[in-house]
């Protein structure tokens, strides 16, 4: 039986624990909101999933216990990987209105249902391999072909749902940026949010597409014995670190608060617009009307 801390699963689990601690620290120094909880939930799931994977595939415990650990691993991997998309979701459900909101929610939850269904199918095949005694980390199980194809669909769908959410968010931010006063601090905020959103969607789509390609070449149960498997393990490590990007986005938005009194996405009140501006004076020409679904700015008199 392989020693736990000699394997990459221990490192990935440790990354999840570390990012969880950092996220809790960020929670204490910022105003709690649904956005600040997402990195915590995702990182906790990362730590549990990778630890359960070691128990299920690298120990000599009884098959029922290993099968149960495999179930836990797949469930928490689902929470970790699909949970990343809820960062954009939490912003959009409080800003989109009318038909745009309906279309977004229908397609988003369709993708989420597809992701969950594929993960459940993977879970079932892995349990069958363990129960029948045909699962080995260094050899191809009887269902490895099916599991590989399911992972291709799984990661591709994750990339699609993130693209869908970020497309709405980028359009929303672009409209707000376009109509904001050119000499005001609000324009800087919208430009910052646009850039971070573009980087986030590009990173997550790259991770999803790369894992879809590399996992299609996976020939063993849970070991990285081929170049494609090692690339997949590297990309998954980047995915485990991705909540740090969310935390940087949340904390960096604070820098606008002292001078502009802006409440960024990281501290929005779910009962109101996610971005509020107070005591901002501008000297610009009259602005065009803001689209109804982009009611971003509410200005007050000094």
Tokens 């894992």 -> residue: 211
Helix (H) or strand (E) holding 277: strand 276-277
Average pLDDT, the chain: 78
Both tokens of 13, joined, read 């689990």
| Residue 78: pLDDT band with limits 50, 70, 90 | very high
pLDDT one-digit tens code per residue, 220-277: 667 777 888 888 889 999 999 999 988 888 887 665 544 444 344 433 444 444 443 3
Give the model's pLDDT for residue 207: 86
Above pLDDT 70, what percent of the chain? 74
Per residue in 169-200, pLDDT (tens digit) is: 888 777 766 766 554 555 666 666 777 777 77
- Among 213, 217, 232, 58, smallest CA distance to 140 is for 217
Cβ pair 104, 96 in contact under 8 A: yes
Residue with tokens 């999840």: 16
State how far the Cα of 56 lies from the Cα of 27, in Å rounded to an integer: 33
Length of the chain: 302
**For residues 182 and 51, which has the higher predicted lDDT (pLDDT)?**
51
Question: SS3 letters for 174-220?
Answer: HHHHHHCCCCCHHHHHHHHHHHHHHHHHHHHHHHHHHHHHHHCCCCC
pTM of this structure? 0.79
What digits encode the pLDDT tens for the residues 199-218?
A: 777 788 888 888 888 877 77
- DSSP-based three-state secondary structure for 276: strand
What pLDDT score was predicted for residue 179?
66
Nearest to 266 by CA among 289, 284, 246: 246
| Domains detected in the chain | 4-294 (1.20.1070)
Q: What six digits make up the tokens of 237? A: 């490590």
Reduced to 3 states (helix: H, G, I; strand: E, B; else coil), residue 219 is: coil
Q: Where do the DSSP E strands lie in 48-185? A: none
Which pLDDT does position 256 carry in this prediction?
A: 54
The end-to-end CA distance of the chain, in Å, is: 69
Lowest mean pLDDT among 160-164, 166-170, 182-186, 293-297: 293-297
Q: Rounded CA gap, 208 and 191, in Å?
A: 26
Per-residue pLDDT, 285: 41
């Amino acid at each position: 039986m392989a020693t736990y801390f000699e394997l990459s699963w221990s490192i990935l689990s440790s990354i999840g624990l570390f990012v969880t601690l950092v996220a809790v620290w960020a929670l204490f120094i910022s105003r709690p909101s649904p956005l600040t909880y997402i990195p915590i939930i995702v990182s906790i799931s990362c730590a549990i999933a990778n630890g359960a994977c070691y128990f299920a595939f690298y120990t000599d415990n009884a098959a029922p216990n290993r099968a149960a650990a495999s179930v836990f691993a797949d469930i928490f991997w689902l929470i970790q990987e699909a949970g990343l998309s809820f960062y954009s979701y939490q912003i959009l459900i409080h800003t989109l209105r009318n038909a745009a909101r309906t279309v977004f929610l229908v397609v988003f939850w369709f993708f989420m249902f597809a992701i969950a269904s594929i993960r459940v199918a993977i879970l079932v095949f892995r349990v069958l391999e363990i129960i029948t005694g045909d699962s080995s980390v260094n050899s191809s199980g009887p269902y490895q072909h099916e599991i590989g194809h399911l992972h291709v669909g799984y990661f591709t769908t994750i990339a699609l749902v993130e693209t869908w959410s970020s497309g709405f968010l980028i359009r929303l931010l672009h409209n707000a940026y376009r109509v904001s006063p050119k000499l005001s601090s609000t324009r800087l905020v919208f430009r910052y949010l646009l850039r971070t959103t573009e980087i986030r969607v590009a990173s997550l789509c790259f991770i999803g597409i790369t894992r879809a390609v590399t996992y299609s070449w996976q020939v063993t149960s849970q070991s990285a014995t081929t170049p494609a498997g090692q690339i997949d393990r590297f990309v998954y490590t980047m995915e485990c670190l991705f909540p740090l990007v969310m935390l940087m986005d949340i904390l960096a938005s604070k820098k606008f608060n002292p001078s502009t009194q802006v409440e960024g996405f990281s501290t929005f009140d779910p009962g109101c617009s996610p971005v509020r501006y107070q005591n901002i004076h501008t000297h610009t020409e009259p602005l065009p009307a803001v689209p109804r679904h982009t009611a971003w700015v509410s200005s007050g008199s000094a």
